Structure 1
Amino acid sequence: MATIIYTLTDEAPLLATYSFLPIVEAFTSAAGVEVETRDISLSGRILAAFADSLPEDRRVADALAELGELVQRPEANIIKLPNISASVPQLNAAIAELQAQGYDLPSYDDATAEEKARYDAVKGSAVNPVLREGNSDRRAPLAVKNYARKHPHSMGAWSADSRTEVATMTADDFRSNELSVIMRQADTLRIEFVDADGAVTVLKELPVLAGEVVDATVMRAAALDAFLTEQIARAKELGVLFSLHLKATMMKVSDPVIFGHAVRAFLPTTFAAFGDQLAAAGLTPNNGLGSILAGLDGLPQGAEIKASINAELAEGPALAMVNSDRGITNLHVPSDVIVDASMPAMIRTSGHMWGPDGAEADTLAVIPDSSYAGVYATVIADCKAHGAYDPTTMGSVPNVGLMAQKAEEYGSHDKTFIIERPGTVRVVGAAGEVLMRHDVAAGDIWRACQTKDAPIRDWVKLAVTRARVSHTPAIFWLDPERAHDRNLRTLVEKYLTDHDLTGLDITIASPVEATQTSIDRIRQGLDTISVTGNVLRDYNTDLFPILELGTSAKMLSVVPLMAGGGLFETGAGGSAPKHVQQLVEEDYLRWDSLGEFLALAESLEHLARSTNNPRAAVLATALDAATGTLLEEGKSPGRRVGQIDNRGSHAWLARYWAQELAAQTEDAELAAVFAPVAEALAANQDAIDAELLGVQGHAVELGGYYRPDPVATATVMRPSATLNAIIDAVG
């Protein structure tokens, strides 16, 4: 029997899975397709990391490692839902919950070096680099695009006098200090630190392949501090909100440190007076202002420190807020404000973020590293000049992203180092040749990066294929002022000659130029494929979909694996925590599973081709049609109690899917199976709706946030006995 792997992840996507997966299993079983699950949630990854120290009955298999092997085989067919890329505060919260559930785990702060290494392997973007053994093809399906044009989401108005703008470093950041080489042959490189006395410490050995692009760069702490101090003063002078935009999840080593620099810069008096006491208590600004405030009660001078913090917050510029009602600022938690989600949301809302007074206001968006800040600055300038984009007419910017085999995984790997003392960091070949070097000072952030040749070739091929299939111009976004991008351009130009480009419009431009071209075409209703590296892939596949569709969760994300299999991703989970909170308080889940519907259809279509299973293709076609009907009939989740929620949308999708299968003429046997299902769902629709709506408005207990109790969660997410009976009887 052909198999699809459905991943169990975190937060709202996991809760939705409890409702949707029984429907998937029932419908696919009729086509001879088995659906298996693998737990790659944050809690599952933690437990797998410590399986050898847990009792046998409490051990969890390392599902991520298993899937990491599977994606390198042609039979791989995996549906991957959004998972938590954990910051340290999230990691600590998950550990505490697991400890409360009886798992004998060490606390992160008290862990041995070996135990901390296990935890460090779990935090940040630990999942995606393992599974993404292919490059990314991400776009808005036609049904989703048509729906967005007929039912546009709200867009805030822009005016030329908006004071919102982007601030970024102009020197001594990662972009300006980058060096890059293309390896002539396979080698084992050494990343070495040489101190002022000439003593050499090997920081990392790095096996590389011939043709591999290897980069090194450094962000200078002194320049970062000066920049942040200047922007804080500037925000106050302009009378706008100060907001910091980083990605402390994927960039799990560098960005929490940059975040800590911002907290220090905002509270210079407090840290000058009390920095030693805070450090001695383990209260680091890298974990955010919230963790410091939470730990003050146990300090002798806690009240005095809190008063100092409050005074500086009052004296400085108004901070953008994550939750103004609860006093949670932009600087409270590193993982609360993630640049690829926060910047598009701000642009969509007239360039505003929420202030301490609970009102929207213009914002100084501070993005320290200039590598990608220009993309957002260009869009903001365009909105000031021409107004907001119109979802009813605007074009699309689909993406082909370089990410296979951990390509360009800046900051989410073990090649980033916080420099402890002055010296030099150099990258040295096995024969002793120094390939790259930087003089460094204490506190500087140095990092290296690898991009293998095979993924680059595959990326170019995928871009050409997508441009040809969609009859759409494609632009490679490569910055001539970045050493890595200059090398990449050399390879792109070389590998493009391997393909027939007749009739295709494929060009190369800097990110700023490519952004301007794309948004000019957007306003004309025209599509433009962005062909980008890994980090820009992450940013663009949120930026443009959020402006176009209102969310990036409605994008189709296909990863054609280089070994021949398929990975089908289901969209972003950035708002998932708020959705969980609403469910717990009101038994209402507004998470939209549209991404899951789209991914499942693509997965079934791939399975039909790869295993010669025409019945799976029938299921896929019917599901796509059902998804279109769901959108047209307005059966997606609403936002508040009394409306259809996630579970209700699943019930309607099941009905439409069954109707499509019963009506199709390609497979009479399959039609006969689903005809009574369709009839039963239609006949009992009122009862199902009543049961689903009837539970809303009351608090529920899941038995955990990071590792909810399966029985309790299934009870909450499958509250319609009528629906359950029909689904469970399929086949």
Structure 2
Amino acid sequence: MAKILYTYTDEAPMLATHSFLPIISAYASTAGVDVETRDISLAARILAQFSDRLPADQQVPDSLAELGDLARTPEANIIKLPNISASIPQLKAAIKELQGRGYDLPNYPDEVATEEDKDVRARYDKVKGSAVNPVLREGNSDRRAPASVKAYARKNPHSMGAWSSDSSTNVATMDGGDFRANEQSVILEADDDLTIQHVAADGTVTALRDSIPVLAGEVVDGTVMHVAQLREFLAAQVARAKADDVLFSVHLKATMMKVSDPIIFGHVVKVFFADVFAEYGDQLAAAGLSANDGLGAILAGLDALENGAEIKAAFEKGIAEGPRLAMVDSDKGITNLHVPSDVIVDASMPAMIRTSGHMWGPDGNEADTLAVLPDSSYAGVYQAVIDDCRANGAYDPTTMGTVPNVGLMAQKAEEYGSHDKTFEVESAGKVQVVNRAGDVLIEHDVEAGDIWRACQTKDIPIRDWVKLAVTRARASQTPAVFWLDESRAHDRNLISLVEKYLPEHDTDGLDIRILSPIEATKLSVERIRKGEDTISVTGNVLRDYNTDLFPILELGTSAKMLSVVPLINGGGLFETGAGGSAPKHVQQLVKENYLRWDSLGEFLALAVSFEHFAQSNDNARAQILADTLDRATGTFLLENKSPARKVGSIDNRGSHFYLALFWAEELARQTDDAELAAAFAELAGALRSNEEQINSELIGVQGDPADIGGYYKVDQAKADDVMRPSATLNGLIDGLSV
């Protein structure tokens, strides 16, 4: 039976599901559409990996694997909410919570000493970082701001900090020795099977990956970051921030790049506190306190050391004598270096640009910032935007254009598919990619500690990406720019394939260009200031970066974007925006029973999911649900019923009530199905007449702490009670029938 699968995830989006899903299910049932959930939360993903050591009543299915299989079929209709892309500290916290709830889970092994350690680490590695997205994304990304959202943003502009021409904010990036500089790339002529191997100085060959099946036409890249040059660069930036009297900040992607970026983050911590690690580094390592986990994890572990107070004082001295650190929470003393997943580049950089180029300093005030992005692959994009703001001032949300994105991401394309092919080199020598015949396709000289990685980009996703770009350019009559740099090895191969596949499509009258990311950024922001739109056609990482950068500047958040993934085999994946602010929202809910999470992304995704269902299953009522929901969302925005900011106003639960009301009223007014209209006219009348009572019940619970029974794994009944506090609303929704 055809159905819509609605993912149950983590943090604020998960809590919102407890409130919104009953509404979805009730309305969908009137069209014969079955809506089911699949739990792909971090907790569920962990438990699924260890079912063999859990009793039957604690076992959970591997829903992510199920959805991954489904995504490769024409029947797929999946609504994917934001989930935790777990860094190691988050993973350890989730494990600890589950252990405390009676689940017999092993600790995450920091060091692998036994076969059991190896097995446990391998299982946990399957759930850490961005484990979800590569599995589900069996198609390329079409992400844009819907017209209703853009119109609302222009009429109700979010705040934008002013820019000064003498701002000292800048991006610092490596000019050699990094992933970009060392990249090598090949296009496979035929199906093959590759091996990644390390050849030591004495000739000893060690296989790092035994077998990597590849297909004809596949693009395979390999590159290395030389740690000696990385550390030299980092030391220079620490000194530069101190000399320029600006905040020091580092911006990485320790979630998606779950192998390489935590290592890089660890080097930042060790270089910033060079004196501390020179004196105590061996002791910290022996105690299992790794810089890769961040300063916060180290400080938390010092109490167990005999001279912990002495080491803590040394860290405090390092903070006092170094440049001012950008802060995650200045009131709590949480710095940019505390947790590798606290400052994520795609969210942190646009937020900084939106706020006058400032981050928060240790004194609780905003200040100019040196943003350190070690690898130079995409750092220039942010510098170009900063330079534009310094020269021309902040952008104006009431007039600025938009930059939708067509992103190459299917089948683990590019760097985000590199996790199982990324290694911290153990000894000097060479790392090679060798084909079945023994030919060396890619080779790098390496030193101990260097970070080497490979990635793959299959030909079918590339063809689909080019097709989708042309389709979007024609549908919107908007210029489309492929962000590709001919001076970079991978991009040169992509350019050759784009130029090969573009003639297969009707591009007459379309403005389609290929520009380097820096030049594409300059063109896009120039057009933005004129109120003009430009489609960015990018690879996987820039897809991630651009679909935060421009929406945060245009709309104030990337959560309001429509994100459609037309799956290559005919199904549909509908994503609901970013979850970067989700942890703070949960903290506020627990403290004062108020959830600020904005479910607009869910509304947008649900509408296109119904539309896809209608077209795939010839279901006229599903199309009516889609059309009326789209109109209701427009009313929702015009009536400004998104969650407010303060206790005593409508929050996420109130926004769901109003969406249900406006949707019911639109369904009552539609003329294509009289029976449906009559049923919803009754519901709409009841919701409208009980508006004051429902709001009283929803708002009346605010102010006191809320108990949801856990953070990574909530108590379902408690979460239902917290997120559905209006008996009046619940009765009306649960009683709907046609």
Shorter-chain TM range is over 0.9
Match of 1:599 among 599, 605, 629: 605
CA distance in 1, matches of 2:290, 2:417: 19
Match of 2:588 among 568, 582, 585: 582
CA distance in 1, matches of 2:154, 2:437: 60
RMSD, aligned CA? 0.7
Match of 2:468 among 459, 462, 468: 462
Match of 2:440 among 414, 424, 434: 434
Cα offsets for 1:109-149 (capped at 9, x unmatched): 37621011100111001000000000000000000000000
Aligned to 2:46: 46
Q: Identity of aligned pairs, percent?
A: 72
What are the within-5 Å matches in structure 2 for residues 635-714 of structure 1? 635-714=641-720
Please tell me whether residue 72 in structure 1 is matched to residue 72 in structure 2.
yes
TM-superposed deviation, 1:211: 0.3
Aligned to 1:344: 350
Gaps of 5+ in 1: none
SS of aligned partner of 1:426: strand
TM-superposed deviation, 1:183: 0.1
Cα offsets for 1:471-501 (capped at 9, x unmatched): 0000000011210000000000000010111
Gaps of 5+ in 2: 111-115
Cα offsets for 1:403-444 (capped at 9, x unmatched): 001111446520000001100001111111111100000110
What are the within-5 Å matches in structure 2 for residues 30-109 of structure 1? 30-109=30-109
Q: State the AA in 1 paired with 2:581.
A: S
Please tell me whether residue 390 in structure 1 is matched to residue 404 in structure 2.
no
TM-superposed deviation, 1:321: 0.3
SS of aligned partner of 2:505: coil
Q: State the AA in 1 paired with 2:119.
A: E
Q: Contact 2:417/2:456 (CA < 8 Å) preserved in 1?
A: no
Q: State the AA in 2 paired with 1:505.
A: D
Q: Contact 1:692/1:720 (CA < 8 Å) preserved in 2?
A: yes
Aligned to 1:564: 570
CA distance in 2, matches of 1:22, 1:229: 54
TM-superposed deviation, 1:2: 3.1
TM-superposed deviation, 1:359: 0.3
Q: State the AA in 2 paired with 1:539.
A: Y
Please tell me whether residue 517 in structure 1 is matched to residue 547 in structure 2.
no
CA distance in 1, matches of 2:366, 2:430: 46
Cα offsets for 1:638-693 (capped at 9, x unmatched): 11101110000000000000000001101111101111100100010000000011
TM-superposed deviation, 1:628: 0.6
Match of 1:727 among 730, 733, 736: 733
Please tell me whether residue 122 in structure 1 is matched to residue 113 in structure 2.
no
Please tell me whether residue 260 in structure 1 is matched to residue 255 in structure 2.
no
Match of 2:538 among 525, 532, 537: 532
TM-superposed deviation, 1:206: 1.1
Aligned to 2:245: 239
CA distance in 2, matches of 1:647, 1:250: 31
SS of aligned partner of 1:194: strand
Cα offsets for 1:384-417 (capped at 9, x unmatched): 0000000000000000000001111446520000
Aligned to 1:617: 623
Task: Name the CA shift for 1:618/1:410 in 2 (closer, same or farther; >3 Å).
Answer: closer
Q: Contact 1:250/1:411 (CA < 8 Å) preserved in 2?
A: no
Please tell me whether residue 206 in structure 1 is matched to residue 212 in structure 2.
yes
CA distance in 1, matches of 2:41, 2:433: 36
Aligned to 1:190: 195
CA distance in 2, matches of 1:296, 1:88: 18
Question: After the TM superposition, which of the residue ranges 10-19 and 636-645 deviates more from structure 2?
Answer: 636-645
Aligned to 1:367: 373
| TM-score normalised by length of structure 1 | 1.00
Aligned to 1:419: 425
Question: After the TM superposition, which of the residue ranges 51-60 and 73-82 deviates more from structure 2?
Answer: 51-60
Aligned to 2:113: none
Match of 2:323 among 311, 317, 328: 317
Q: Contact 1:49/1:118 (CA < 8 Å) preserved in 2?
A: yes
TM-superposed deviation, 1:52: 1.5
SS of aligned partner of 2:504: coil
| TM-score normalised by length of structure 2 | 0.99
Aligned to 1:2: 2
Aligned to 1:17: 17
Q: Contact 1:250/1:412 (CA < 8 Å) preserved in 2?
A: no
Task: Name the CA shift for 1:274/1:411 in 2 (closer, same or farther; >3 Å).
Answer: farther
Q: Contact 1:126/1:412 (CA < 8 Å) preserved in 2?
A: no
Match of 1:248 among 240, 251, 254: 254
Aligned to 2:491: 485
CA distance in 2, matches of 1:700, 1:276: 44
Please tell me whether residue 328 in structure 1 is matched to residue 334 in structure 2.
yes
CA distance in 2, matches of 1:413, 1:338: 17
CA distance in 1, matches of 2:718, 2:650: 21
Q: Contact 2:139/2:409 (CA < 8 Å) preserved in 1?
A: yes
Q: State the AA in 2 paired with 1:460.
A: V
CA distance in 2, matches of 1:319, 1:480: 36
CA distance in 1, matches of 2:487, 2:332: 43
Q: State the AA in 2 paired with 1:249.
A: T
Match of 1:132 among 137, 141, 158: 137
Please tell me whether residue 167 in structure 1 is matched to residue 172 in structure 2.
yes
CA distance in 2, matches of 1:356, 1:703: 34
Aligned to 1:143: 148
CA distance in 1, matches of 2:439, 2:100: 53
CA distance in 1, matches of 2:150, 2:531: 12
Q: Contact 1:83/1:573 (CA < 8 Å) preserved in 2?
A: yes
Cα offsets for 1:685-706 (capped at 9, x unmatched): 0000000110000101111000
SS of aligned partner of 1:7: strand
CA distance in 1, matches of 2:90, 2:561: 27
Match of 1:112 among 96, 99, 117: 117
Task: Name the CA shift for 1:578/1:412 in 2 (closer, same or farther; >3 Å).
Answer: farther
Q: Contact 1:558/1:568 (CA < 8 Å) preserved in 2?
A: yes
Q: State the AA in 2 paired with 1:188.
A: D
Q: Contact 2:141/2:408 (CA < 8 Å) preserved in 1?
A: yes
Aligned to 1:154: 159
Cα offsets for 1:41-81 (capped at 9, x unmatched): 00000000111111111100000000010011101000000
Q: Contact 2:109/2:120 (CA < 8 Å) preserved in 1?
A: no
SS of aligned partner of 1:497: helix
Q: Contact 1:252/1:411 (CA < 8 Å) preserved in 2?
A: no
Cα offsets for 1:244-263 (capped at 9, x unmatched): 00000000000000000000
TM-superposed deviation, 1:209: 0.4
